Chains A and B, each alone.
Chain A
């Protein structure tokens, strides 16, 4: 519920996609009627929402299809909307496109038009996506979701400067959106627009103060902007703030140490640079929690620039291995390496080596399976996935072997649930729908037996 009429408050309420909203003044009867209607709606789609909460998107779609067969005209459009969104989640873009197109044939609705834009983006048809999102913004100048997608599309096309100006417009409409300010800061940083980056990082720090999304990266981002603008003292102030505000956050302390290295390097203080660098090294050894991959990439760069190519090498190998299927992140690694390494063939050789290593690991597991040692193969891939949890091939092969095991022996609930959770992980990782749908279809009979 909102008691505010001011644009930024109404927009921020709508931005959070509530089930419904009321504008004051409202009567008690109005409120109770709306809540009742909301409860009825929620009750109707409870099965769908439960499956979505558990990441079981195929099962959620199955529930959508069942409800649509019941032909409740009042709920039809809402179920179709959910089904289309789920289809996008699992990568079945053609299905989502058909749903949105059929709706648009009946009646042009902004959310269906947005959906078509999203589908065009996912299918890589960026020009069509741009046309769709731009049209939406012309008709609905306050539709922030359309701005977000238009920004993403231009970014994907490499039009960073244009994406930046669009995102600035969206942030002007709703300056209190923490996540948008954060995104603006990162984009401005990338496009080397220091003025916007500085304003956006400052806003992110202020807005994120009591937010669950609060992160030391906002502080380090701002400090970096100050460094690039030669405002060394200001950069130093931010580093002190970082150490103070995030005393128990190992990642924050690491960021602070990395910044210290850069600051001292900029000042030309060799001794202090070395000391700061040693601190980075020591912290890296001490930290036993998982550090974000972007921070690790920064560390690799710092190690190399300070003459420590061995540790740089180790981090880069690790990063490439763990993220081999993430094209965008691998591209970032390649860009970073090419900017600092003299030897431009280094990263190409590294990729080849890692790909061979991973292929060998995969083949070992498959060999166990072909030798009839199913349990051995399962244990092998379990260990491989524990080390490299985002590896597409390991996950797909693990699921296939689990299903084979179910067919060969008496399936049990635990095995079925395990297979399903790997399928959900596969969807999350963006493994193509044509690969995942086949194995989900193979698992479905076991799910039905278990239920």
Chain B
């Protein structure tokens, strides 16, 4: 019986898949450029799905690296407005294709201490999900709450299903083959949050449906 290092095998395969997906996305862009005026609605779907696949692969790779200690956070001081702007910039293409409004709200002096690339990835993951399930609006905000900087993403969709409304996302939930919700995104953001530690306090996430717009609300706490 051969012993196979599946984690290394998967990581290597995921890396190859990302490369192929990147080529696919370039082709989608090229096809899009062929249409000057009325672009087919299928293009929007292509972008969304390709983007979603890419995000999933990126999350898998990052989780693998964290698991094999190849990826530790590089903590530095960052202005929260810069991180939020980066998240908005990453969604620039998708936003132009859809009718979804992505609003940011944050005090310009608010500072956090984190690995900005990791936190930006974590927030993008949740914004991607919100984009998929919202109607027309996503609010990305940040505030200081005691010893934590809290990032909050609220949408006007139908909210999280019952089994996702917990801060305790220890396990990936059962795969929902219809909806496609594996909980990977939440697990990913939880892992990123927990890498951020200060004076014994660890980062964490919270999910509920108390969005001011009636949909899902996600909160990321950084010490």
Contacts and interface: CB of A to CB of B under 8 A. Distances in A.
The answer to whether A and B belong to the same complex is: yes
B22 A24 contact: yes
B128 interface: no
A107 B111 CA distance: 12
A66 interface: no
B74 A23 contact: no
Interface of A: 5-7, 23-30, 33-34, 37, 73-74, 77, 107-111, 139-142
Contact of A29 (B54, B79, B89, B113): B89
A111 B72 contact: no
A30 B90 contact: yes
Given A5-B18, A5-B61, A142-B72, A29 B92 contact: yes
Interface of B: 15, 18, 22, 25, 54, 61, 65, 69-72, 74-77, 79, 82, 85-86, 89-93, 109, 111, 113, 117, 198
A31 to B, nearest CB: 9
A138 to B, nearest CB: 10
Contacts of A139: 72
Contacts of B61: 5
Given A23-B117, A107-B113, A77 B70 contact: no
A108 B71 CA distance: 19
A174 to B, nearest CB: 12
Contacts of B92: 27-30
Given A25-B22, A25-B25, A30-B92, A109 B86 contact: no
Nearest to A37: B82
A111 B77 CA distance: 11
A142 B72 CA distance: 8
B54 to A, nearest CB: 6
A110 B113 contact: no
27 contacts: A5-B15, A5-B18, A5-B61, A6-B15, A23-B117, A27-B89, A27-B90, A27-B92, A27-B93, A30-B86, A30-B90, A30-B92, A33-B89, A73-B111, A77-B76, A107-B77, A107-B198, A108-B75, A109-B75, A109-B77, A139-B72, A140-B72, A140-B74, A141-B69, A141-B72, A142-B71, A142-B72
Given A6-B15, A23-B117, A109-B76, A142 B70 contact: yes
A142 B69 CA distance: 9
Contacts of B111: 73
Given A24-B22, A25-B22, A74-B79, A110 B74 contact: yes
Contacts of B90: 26-27, 30
A33 B86 contact: yes
